[in-house]
Structure formats: structure tokens, C-alpha cells
Structure 1
Amino acid sequence: VRVSVSYPIGQHLVMPHLGELLNRHTDLEVQLIYNDHLVDLVKENFDLAIRGMVSEYSALIVRPVGKLHTCLAATPDYLAQYGVPQQESDLAAHQILSSQTATGKPRAWLLQQSDGTAKAYQPTRSRFTTSNTDSLIAAALQGLGIAQLPIYPIWRHLQAGSLKTVLSDIHQPMQYELSIQYPHRTAPCLRRACAWCWIFCWM
């Protein structure tokens, strides 16, 4: 089965469970291809994709399997040095680590206002900006600032206390619907069916 995934999803959600799939289906061969962009599954001969975004290609069947959430986080050492922000205005005194959008601009954070509405917070400057999630996590773990991070790859750091969430009372998490996508065919082949059924089980 030939699978397309983004690097963070592949490393943090798929790889920890790969052994279970291959041990259960001993004749199955898996090709896990990392793509940080949407691919044409038919033209590039993929059996399925696991994505946090949906392709507009109409020949795909999309099966939602869960939601991915984000949080604002920093290390305890960073927070001890700069203080724990209590409100949006406190962020002016902090170092911001940003993820880069497709347009090249830092991704805004949604923060709840006193009237209950959500407003996009765009820092005037970012200490570090990257388009790669793992690089953003690494920068946060080095104590370089506050970052908006997906929860699934940093869960163990949150549990261990090496990262702490901040502004959770006003931060509006970004939500991505994780889905399995595969080409529309009259009958899914056995290898694809067992693979996405396995994914449903561990999500």
C-alpha cells in the first residue's frame, strides 16, 4: 500500500503504530511517502493519503478520522525568564516563534476578546519563523519563545512538563480535520481497506 502523509503526521501518528499493522498483515508491503503538499493520488499512484487538509480533487473519497488541535506553549525556563503572559497585551514583551503560511507570512493566532469575539493576533516581529512543524517544536523546546503548536506531536512534552501551555483561557485553537483520502473506485482493494481500517482503530 502506497501512502502519502505530511512529515509530522507520518512521524508522530503513523510510525508509532506501523509495527501493529505489519505484524497483523504479514504479506502487506507499505510505502510511506512524505509530502508537505497535496498530491494527485491517481496520477502519482497512491493508494491513500492521511491529511489534515482536504484535496478539492473530486475523484477522492474522504473519511474523517478525528480533529487536530493547537495550543500556545513554551518551556518552563523561558517562562521563568520572561514571565507567564496573562493577557494579549503581555505578548509584546515576549519572544514569538511563528509558523509560516503558504504566502510566506507568519500565521496569526486567534485570541478571544473581552466581548467574546475572536481576533487574529499578528506579532509585529517573530524571533523565528519556519514552514516546518518539527523545526518550530525544536525552537520552542530550546526555550526560544512562545509558539502555536499542534498538540499531537508535543503531547509527551506537555505530559513531562518540558513544555507548558499559556493563554489557554483566551487562545482559540486552530482545528484541522484529519482524514483518510483515497481514489474513488467501485471496490477498494484489500490492501487499502485493511490499511485504513487499521488507521480508524488507532485514531
Structure 2
Amino acid sequence: MEAFVLTVKTGSFVATSISLNTSPQMIAKYIAFLENYLGLKLLNRTTRSQNLTEFDKQYYERCLFILGEIKATKTLAQQYSDEPRGNLKISAPVSYGHFNVIPVISHFMKRYPKMSVDIQLNDRYVDLVQENFDIVFRVGELTDSGLIARKLNPYQLIFAASPSYLAQYGVPSVPNDIKKHQCLIYQYVNPSKKDYLWPFTINGKLVHFPISGSLTSNNTLALAAAAVEGLGITMLPESMLREAITQNKLLPILQNFLPPAREVHLLYPADRQRPSKLNIFIEFVLDSMS
């Protein structure tokens, strides 16, 4: 049936033989076997082309259905296999991926050593379908993409600076004080304008204050390192700064004015026949991050 379906699609025994890694003569034998089994001629062939009869068309559709069911049956069996195996292609934002996703993937691969993972860290918007990702972690509000979205723990931004910087320039007590300080600026916050704003929560409302600083970067790891070196105040994810704060290399500030935590979702295609490796990874992430 696979040989018949591919021959209809390609119009050629040669092309079908290449896809199935066999010879054109073997493809002809497969078709002849079907013809003998059915008692009907398939693929009205001439020396230059082949034409589909009405029976061919209906039989082709039935073959597609049957082969689809066979594939679904195999997928079902894989879901009950002892151990998942194969590769997963994953996308996540850079800082979130580094500090939140990589530790979870590490635990996942230790539990399932036959799995391999290709994780791409990038702050640009990733099209899961077009770029052939199995799963995407996305921070921020979602648009209606037709994908399944599972909510994870929120992503909290905090403000921090080194003890040496705060000792020299003072500790800001209210958001308006930020105007007097050197701020370490993440370029993607507002890449097309000269004015940069930081969000603060004041009396339950989100308020933005302009900031300025001598150091700008498109890399959050660089900004975290600069903050530890005493170059200014940074606004970065709590998960990224947690270790430096624990080691007293950074001190959190303005904690009563933190912006609202950002939503985080796990996105994947709405496919009822997802492979077991993907289902297992999804459940592992949800257990670890929600």
C-alpha cells in the first residue's frame, strides 16, 4: 500500500523506489501483488505516464486511511513502551531558558537517558510549526496561535545592585529615585528609541519611569555581570540573580514596587497523536514548573 500511495503521489516507480530505498522493479512487484490480490488493474500505465481510474482514486483514499491507522497504532504502542527515546527540538528565550529551562531538561535527561534534546535559546519570536520545533517556552502575553498553551510558574523581574554601588550612590527608596542612578539597560526593552522605561507597581497600578545609564547591552548575562561589578542598577529575572543575591554579590531593592510577574506558557501543537516522548516531557515540565 505504501508503494501504491507513493507511486500515485510521485507518478514514478523510480521516485517511489528512492523513497522506500528499494528498486523500481521491486515497486512494480508490489503493485502487481496488489493487483493480483484485488483482481483489478491499478494505475493505467503507458510508457510515458500513468492515469488513475475511478477505482484507483477510491482505493488510494482507503489506503491513506489504513496507513494512517497503522501509524496511529504504532504511536499508541510507543506510548506504553518502557522508556521514551528520540530527539526533542525546543525553543526558549535566552535568560529564561538558561536559568529556568536548562535545569529541568538536565533532570529530564538524567531520568530518561535515551532521550536527546536540541534546545535553541533566542529572544526573537519563534514560529513553532514553520521552524519545526516540538515545543516552545514563551514569556509574556499570548496571541491566538492555534497551539495548546499550558501555564507555568510566572516570571518575576526584580531590581538589584551591588553593595559597593549602593554604598557609593545610595539606596533608592521609591521608583522616582531611579532617575538619579546609573541603570543597566537591556537593549531589547526599547531597541528603536533613545528613551528607556522601567515598570513599577505603585498603589496597585503599573507606572513607567524613564531611566538612563552608560551601559547598554542586548545580553542579560552581561548586564547581570555588570551589576555584580558595581556598574549600576539592573532589572532582571529573579531566577537569574538568585545566586548572586544569596552570595551577597547583589542586593534586591525597591521590593515593594516590583512590576507584575510575566506569564509563562508551554506551547505545542494540538495533535491528538503526539509521540510519547513529547507527552512525557510535557508532564515532566508541568510537574517541575507549575
Q: Quick check: TM above 0.5?
A: yes
Pairing partner for 2:108 from 13, 21, 37: 21
| Partners of 1:184 and 1:138 in 2: CA distance | 40
Corresponding residue for 1:82? 169
Higher percent of residues as helix: 2
Task: Identify which of 180, 189, 196 aligns with 2:275.
Answer: 189
- Looking at secondary structure, tell me which structure has more strand per residue: 1
Shift in CA distance, 21/190, structure 1 to aligned 2, threshold 3 Å:
same
Is the counterpart of residue 110 in structure 1 residue 204 in structure 2? no
Superposition CA RMSD, Å: 2.1
CA deviations on 1:11-52 (whole Å, 9 max, x unpaired) are 111222333211222221211112211211111111001121
* Structure with greater contact order relative to length (CA < 8 Å, sep ≥ 6): 1
1:111–1:22: structure 2 CA closer, same or farther, 3 Å change rule? closer
Equivalent of 1:73, from 156, 160, 164?
A: 160
Secondary structure of the 2:116 match is coil
Q: Does 1:6 align with 2:58?
A: no
Q: Among the aligned pairs, what percent are the same residue?
A: 30
Structure 1 portions without partners, runs of 5+: none
How many Å separate the matches in 1 of 2:267 and 2:176?
A: 41
Find the aligned partners of 2:106 and 2:239 in 1 and give their Cα distance. 19
Q: Normalized against structure 2, the TM-score is what?
A: 0.63
Hey, what's the Cα distance between the residues in 2 that align with 1:22 and 1:116? 42
Distance 1:112 1:23 in 2: 41
Partner of 1:202: 288
Matched, 1:137 2:224: yes
- Mark the structure with the bigger radius of gyration: 2
**For residues 96-149 of structure 1, what are the alpha-carbon distances to aligned partners after superposition, in whole Å with 9 as ceiling and x for unaligned?**
112232543454223355x664421012x3222223221221221111011111
- Which of 223, 242, 247 aligns to 1:160? It is 247
Aligned pair 1:122/2:210, yes or no? yes
Amino acid of the residue matched to residue 180 of structure 2? A
**41-50 or 14-23, larger mean C-alpha shift:** 14-23
What are structure 2's unaligned runs of at least 5 residues?
A: 1-87
Contact 1:99 1:107 in 2 (8 A): no
The residue aligned with 1:179 is 265
Which of 88-97 and 144-153 deviates more? 88-97
Letter in 2 for 1:110: P
What displacement does 1:88 show?
Answer: 3.5
SS in 1 for 2:107: helix
Does residue 172 of structure 2 align to residue 93 of structure 1? no
Letter in 2 for 1:152: S
CA distance in 1 between counterparts of 2:232 and 2:125 reads 30
Q: Which amino acid aligns with 2:158?
A: C
- Secondary structure at the counterpart of residue 37 of structure 1: coil
Q: CA deviation at 1:89?
A: 4.1
The CA distance in 2 between the partners of 1:175 and 1:130, in whole Å, is 23
Q: Indicate the larger mover: 130-139 or 151-160.
A: 130-139
- Return the alpha-carbon distance in structure 2 between the equivalents of residues 192 and 24 of structure 1: 15
